[in-house]
Chain A
């Protein structure tokens, strides 16, 4: 990478860290533990200053290893990592100035809350008076004032994670790395802390890299999501982009529910056939992914699928398929119809409002959707 005046300025800003955030750039990052396939395989990703980036993926997809590589806990097999334009590939973790939040909190059990939070400041030889002021300030930010002298074991899981969060941001790190920090908490506490983390991201304005396998959490928190699969990045984008414009079947399936019609190798202009039905294809809905020309699939979200009792009720121009209702799930604000579609009885699902129509298992219906609502992805 050439050093332009712009990157020099950015590097200067990174040294101060904190507000405004620091850019994190991964270039062709590979980590090979000597197993059959590399844990992280040629990953390139740029996290913008101040961005909330989530590394999402199933377990074993390489997201945590990638985070550990950024933190410096693992050494790179190949590639480079730079923080604010400074190459840190060979810098040990304690000199990268990155805050980190762990799933098990990793609070020091022999220190009090205040001592835990003061730890990074003492390591940086901050004067005592300033330490006291900063600790009080950050404990107020995470709403834990008045528990300074408690030991971690005396706090609940949620409180412990707040202390860990305070400790990880008090020294104004270049960025905050969060390794499934809410994984050990129960559902209610989780959503409360999600709100908290979003608020703190807004107030601190620093770059956040968040690892999770929970797609809802990722959608809820992130500016952008990098979806990992088998050590590679499947797709990067805003939550809306990943949900509405998936490039691959993996992405479509990982985020939200989908009805999937596999097409194999098909011509993707005009019309395609599936199980005796002929469907229109809108070129705007074909993924840019090169694999889509090799093997493709149509993906339709359940909320985009409408139900007609008779075939004649399907509006002109819509794509339709015969289906049998297998089951009806009542979800409160809506119902989910579980369908068997076409002759082969492909499982599918659709959402219907509670008051529209009365469906029961065994009903023969027609499912339909607008060609604009479907997405043709690489399978």
Chain B
């Protein structure tokens, strides 16, 4: 505790005012006290991390394997599988389709999810809690149930195999993720700031753009990334919605092991793992840069 005392002394007003807005990020971080962690807990934690990550990382060395079948440890080193991937239009089209659907899903789900989160934030009481729970149903409902329901509905509306169909279906399962992350960000937003904005001449819409959005941007960005990834690696809905001319990459990967035995899937898997990881790492990296400013 000793290093904390002088900090507190330097900032008496911040401590004295209970109604004051939070102290600067950096300072607050320093106040947080963490009890020492015993070595065995660290070791156990490390094991859990390895258990979760290792299977995913296996695909990367495999993708450079010279062997004709899947085997580990990989034999030799070659770019052949990547060459296959980037020269075969079936793979490339599926990658492009996945990107297109994921980007559109991210845009739509983020818009809808953010709007819902803000509305539920301003709506107090039991009704808001009930609606929030209902909106989480797509996450807990079994994927196959959702997929069959969507398939039957979309057959009638002629939406199967269309970009619109994919985007709408993926948005339905991505919105809850946006809702959760934006709701979290709104928890740290002081509603009195919106009254201040109104008193200074902002219409509710302007106040959203100039005050609410900048302050919850991190939650919106996180939600958008989740929505992108939910769509990008979604396979059950995509299997039902696929058409001969429009397939997403997870479906093509599924085909490549069930219909044909194509080892290119190792390269495709690696590309997906790397892409998803990079996108996931975006917010913490951006945040780090923001703090240095």
Contacts and interface: CB of A to CB of B under 8 A. Distances in A.
Interface of A: 71-73, 92-95, 97-100, 102-110, 119-120, 123-124, 151-154, 156-158, 160, 167-168, 171, 177, 183-186, 189
Nearest to A158: B13
A158 B193 CA distance: 18
A94 B198 contact: yes
Contacts, number: 99
B89 interface: no
Contact of A92 (B14, B21, B198, B200): B198
Contact of B19 (A95, A104, A108): A104
Interface string B193-224: 10111111111101100110011000000000
* Of listed B23, B193, B203, B206, residue having the most chain A CB within 10 A: B193
B199 A100 contact: yes
Contacts of A154: 24
A106 B201 CA distance: 15
- Secondary structure at the B interface, as helix, strand, loop or mixed, is helix
Contacts of B259: none
A60 to B, nearest CB: 18
Nearest to B206: A123
A72 B215 CA distance: 24
A104 B190 contact: yes
A102 B24 CA distance: 20
A104 to B, nearest CB: 4
Nearest to A100: B199
Given A106-B192, A153-B22, A185 B202 contact: no
B11 to A, nearest CB: 8
A107 B24 CA distance: 14
Query: Top 10 closest A-B pairs, CB basis?
Result: A106-B196, A100-B199, A120-B200, A123-B201, A156-B13, A93-B198, A104-B19, A153-B24, A184-B19, A157-B17
A102 B201 contact: no
B17 A184 contact: yes
A151 B200 contact: no
Interface residues on B, range: 20 to 34
A92 B199 CA distance: 10
A103 B19 contact: yes
A42 B204 CA distance: 30
Interface in B14-44: 14, 16-25
Interface string B161-191: 0000000000000000000000000000010
Given A100-B195, A108-B211, A157-B17, A119 B200 contact: yes
B21 A153 contact: yes
Given A73-B195, A73-B198, A92-B198, A157 B16 contact: yes
24 contacts: A71-B195, A93-B198, A94-B199, A94-B200, A94-B207, A95-B201, A98-B199, A100-B195, A102-B195, A104-B21, A104-B190, A105-B20, A108-B196, A110-B215, A119-B197, A123-B200, A123-B202, A153-B22, A153-B25, A157-B13, A167-B200, A168-B199, A168-B200, A184-B17
Contacts of B13: 156-158, 186, 189
A160 B197 CA distance: 16
Contacts of B198: 72-73, 92-94
Given A94-B202, A168-B199, A104 B192 contact: yes
Contacts of A98: 199
Contact of B190 (A106, A119, A185): A106
Given A93-B199, A184-B19, A185-B17, 11 more contacts: A72-B198, A93-B198, A105-B20, A106-B190, A106-B193, A108-B211, A119-B197, A123-B201, A123-B202, A160-B21, A184-B20
A171 B17 contact: no
A374 B204 CA distance: 54
Contacts of B18: 184
Contacts of B204: 94
A171 B200 contact: yes
* Of listed A97, A109, A154, A160, residue having the most chain B CB within 10 A: A109
A160 B20 contact: yes
B17 A110 contact: no
A16 to B, nearest CB: 15
* Of listed B24, B192, B198, B206, residue having the most chain A CB within 10 A: B198
A157 B13 CA distance: 6
Given A108-B211, A110-B214, A185-B17, A153 B23 contact: yes
B208 to A, nearest CB: 12
A94 B201 contact: yes
Nearest to B213: A110
Contacts of A160: 20-21
Contacts of A103: 19
* Of listed A108, A119, A189, residue having the most chain B CB within 10 A: A108
Contacts of B20: 104-105, 157, 160, 184
B185 to A, nearest CB: 12
B199 A105 contact: no
Contacts of A106: 190, 192-193, 195-196
B203 to A, nearest CB: 5
Nearest to B26: A153
A65 to B, nearest CB: 14
B21 A109 contact: yes
Nearest to A119: B200
Nearest to A180: B19
Interface in B127-164: none
B19 A171 contact: no
A168 B197 CA distance: 10
